[in-house]
A and B are shown apart, each in its own frame.
Chain A
Amino acid sequence: EAGVTQSPTHLIKTRGQQATLRCSPISGHTSVYWYQQALGLGLQFLLWYDEGEERNRGNFPPRFSGRQFPNYSSELNVNALELEDSALYLCASSLRLAGADTQYFGPGTRLTVL
């Protein structure tokens, strides 16, 4: 069974540009979560999508946004990039079923903002 996949592996952008990160969940999983792992800040929850809807949002500005497609894959968009957006962005997926909702993570996208 294929795990969570993310693309691209690395992304280099300049300040002010937009970045788009993609995530494909494990087959059958309907929930997708995004986390930011920045140096010195640890792992922080960004967004949760389930069944195409945004269900929860972490303490991030509105220029962090995303969406979930009918096939449950997801996109994270970061607009007006700032230097401090440089981080590893991790995507996770799960079933939304009590007792079976463990989050499984992808390999991450390393975003570097110059």
Chain B
Amino acid sequence: GAVVSQHPSRVICKSGTSVKIECRSLDFQATTMFWYRQFPKQSLMLMATSNEGSKATYEQGVEKDKFLINHASLTLSTLTVTSAHPEDSSFYICSASHSGGTDTQYFGPGTRLTVL
């Protein structure tokens, strides 16, 4: 149990376009979802925390107008990278928690975004 999926697994887009990444909890209801970004050979950096039905909380330095997060249901959160640029190319990973505690974060497989 506790499976988290992400779609797409890979996406290539042109500079200036927007890209939407979905994160789904397949067999549990996720009250909280987290979005991370991972640069090559680097650690995961938390971008934002989203709770179902409320606005996401962004970490310092993360542009909320650039990275739009929607957590419309207990099983789905989306991250939209708006007007993507090559520097947005990265590995984006989501995690989901059904109780909100750090002991229950389950990670998705990640999405590789390449902006040309």
Do the two chains belong together in a single complex?
A: no
Q: A residues within 8 Å of B by Cβ?
A: none
